[in-house]
Amino acid sequence: MRLSSDFKLESLLFVAFFVTIPIYSPNIVMFRDGLGGNETLMPFFVGAMLTTATLVGILFAWLAARRSGNFAFDKRVVIASALAYLMGFVLFVATLAFPDFGSPFTAVGAGLLLGASTVELCIAWGAYLAMYDLRQALLALAMMVGMGSVIELLLSTTAIQVGLVVFAVLALVGVAFPCVQAVQGNMVFPDIHIEHASKPAKRQGSFRLSVLRMTQVLGVPFVGLLVFAFIMGVRKFMIFDVIYVETFGGIIGAILVSPLFFVRSSRPLLPLIYQVLVPLFALVLIVCNSFSEGSVPLWFAAWLSYVFYGVVSVLALASLCGMAHAREFSATLIYGLTVGCFSAISLLGIVCGSTPLFQDASSGPILLVVSTCYFAFLIAVPLVSAWKRQGIETDDLKPYEAGVEQDGDAVGVSIAKRCDDMAVSHGLSPRETEILGYLGRGHGVVFIAKTLVISESTVRTHVKSIYKKLGVNSREELLGRVNAE
């Protein structure tokens, strides 16, 4: 419960950037509705923007996996991206507002500028927000997404002249902050701070291997974000012709996610969310969707589904922050891959939305099938995970019999102090010290990986190093050393 002391008010400036991110479709509703004179040019702009964001995002992620992601934190790159971002919006507005100026070429140009710059700015902001661990990020991102969704709602309903002025101010604020941070050298958790960075041959691996390891850690949240991107791209729905469902889902979803910050549990928070709470939510939607057409439960499920995706999107963003905070993967890899995949799936959704199968009356049933498949996936994952864990020793899933959870806070403090002393005397790294604290309290590899939002293979590598430095060969010897200190 450390948010009050660790939360920085300046991070709320992310709301300004969130409201202007062009690959998130509610942010360009104002332009499409208020400057719709050249509506035929929107496909050129959107196609160029999402394609560029896809290619640049994947390229950045590939470079970060193969070499280093430090290039994304260079002040020249950040400032150039900020200028391209602002120029892209100016060109986009001019394309829609002035028929004599607007053309497919200007629309594509605006899309290229915004697509490429969005990737870099998302990485810069993501690296900064990596100051928050998973629990802190749940509340911080919920607040920011909720506030941003409210601003989106206001911008979509205000006069276009006022909306453009407000949007311009938000865009300036949203890009100015990462520029200041980059100039001052204050970017949080760039690759140089990642442990073992002095051994690039071991630290860097293939792009495919990095993606597979990331999938092991946050595969379920990532899939949820992509399903949200697809459905958002297929078709736009409005509630009572007033508010788009994505905006509605963002507001209500943020409200529902916020209380998770206050959940007290001796277990890791991520499995509780994705193996219990989210599958239960999905099960409720499956039941409601099984009722006949025109019934109240089915009507309720239609709107609740978008609340569900609002919840899933906020959880995914917070989980990505938690992963970046853990420093196993660089922020450039995490957010470059996320923006690239999100843009690609959004573009796929737009393409599918133009086909007869998804248009008009047919779109409801088809989207229901897509959603139901994802709901089934959420329910199946914890079941399969439980089946796979049947062969794991029980002490790898729960605290050791003499662990702190059974003996109270005083014992926990004593064990933590002993582990810290051992770490200092034997030259353990900060991450090894953190893991030794969990090992000393009797926790196993699975528990530690889920708690720290890192892969199990990384935990095992650190455990081997801890054993070697402490001169022990088994978990029992390690616990004996801790108890003897």
Q: Is residue 250 assigned to a domain?
A: yes
Tell me the CA distances in angstroms from 260 to 1, 63, 256, one per residue in order: 11, 35, 8
Instruction: Please identify, among 388, 404, 431, the residue that sits at the C-terminal boundary of a domain.
Output: 388
Residue 255 and residue 160 in one domain: yes
Same domain, 165 and 98: yes
Q: Are residues 338 and 399 in the same domain?
A: no
What's the CATH code of the domain at 454? 3.40.50.2300
Has residue 436 been placed in a domain? yes
Alpha-carbon dihedral sign for residues 135, 138, 141, 146: negative
CA angle 287, 263, 212 (to 5 degrees): 70
Q: Give yes or no: residues 295 and 402 share one domain.
A: no
Indicate whether 404 and 359 sit together in one domain: no
The counts of H helices and E strands in the chain are 22, 2
Over its length of 485 residues, how does the chain's per-residue pLDDT go in tens digits?
455 556 778 888 999 999 999 999 888 878 877 676 567 888 999 999 999 999 999 999 999 988 878 889 999 999 999 999 999 999 999 998 888 888 999 999 999 999 999 999 999 999 999 989 899 999 999 999 999 999 988 888 888 889 899 999 999 999 999 999 999 877 755 443 334 433 433 444 588 888 888 888 888 999 999 998 998 888 666 555 556 777 888 899 999 999 998 888 777 888 889 988 999 999 998 888 888 877 888 878 877 888 899 999 999 999 999 999 988 888 999 999 999 999 999 999 988 888 877 765 544 577 778 888 898 899 898 888 777 665 444 444 344 443 444 444 555 567 888 888 888 888 888 888 889 888 888 888 888 888 888 888 889 889 999 999 988 888 888 888 877 76
- Measured in Å, how far apart are the chain's first and last C-alpha atoms? 30
**In 3D, which of 368, 367, 383 has the Cα closest to residue 279?**
383
Q: From CA 407, how far away is CA 404, in angstroms rounded? A: 5
Same-domain status, 331 and 464: no
CA 71 centroid distance within chain: 21
What's the pLDDT score for residue 313?
A: 92
Supply the CATH number for residue 213's domain: 1.20.1250.20
Q: In this structure, is residue 361 part of a structural domain?
A: yes
User: Does residue 402 share a domain with residue 383?
Assistant: no
Cα 303 to Cα 20, 137, 280, 342: the distances in Å are 25, 26, 17, 23
Question: How far apart are the C-alpha atoms of 308 and 249, rounded to whole Å?
Answer: 7
Q: Is 453 part of any domain?
A: yes
User: Residue 200: exposed, middle, or buried by beta-carbon count in 10 A (0-12, 13-18, 19+)?
Assistant: exposed
Name 318's Cβ contacts closer than 8 Å, sequence gap at least 6. 134, 137, 138, 140, 141, 142, 257
The rounded distance, in Å, linking the Cα atoms of 216 and 212 is 6
Mark which of 348, 367, 388 sits at the end of a domain: 388
- Provide the pLDDT for residue 239: 58
Instruction: From 333, 365, 388, give the residue that closes a domain.
Output: 388
Question: Looking at the domain assignment, is residue 197 inside a domain?
Answer: no
Residue 24 backbone zone (phi > 0: left; psi -120 to 50: alpha; other: beta): beta
The pLDDT score that the predictor gives to residue 202 is 43
- Can you give the pLDDT at residue 337? 96
Judge whether 200 lies within some domain: no
Report how far residue 277's alpha carbon sits from residue 254's, in angstroms, rounded to the nearest whole number: 15
Report which secondary-structure segment, H or E, holds 156. Answer: helix 134-157
Number of domains in the chain: 2
CB atoms within 10 A of CB 270: 24
Contact 94, 86 (CB under 8 A): no
Residue 81 is predicted with a pLDDT of 97
Residues 52 and 10 in one domain: yes
Handedness of CA 20, 22, 24, 29 (dihedral sign): positive
274 and 361 assigned to the same domain: yes
199 in any annotated domain: no
17 lies in a domain? yes
The domain in which residue 58 lies consists of: 3-192+205-388
Contacts 24+ apart (CB under 8 A), 358-362: 358/234, 358/235
Give the span between the Cα atoms of 51 and 115, in whole angstroms: 8
Same domain assignment for residues 114 and 62: yes
Tell me, yes or no, whether 329 and 461 share the same domain. Answer: no
Q: Indicate if 312 and 339 belong to the same structural domain.
A: yes
Residue 38's pLDDT is 63
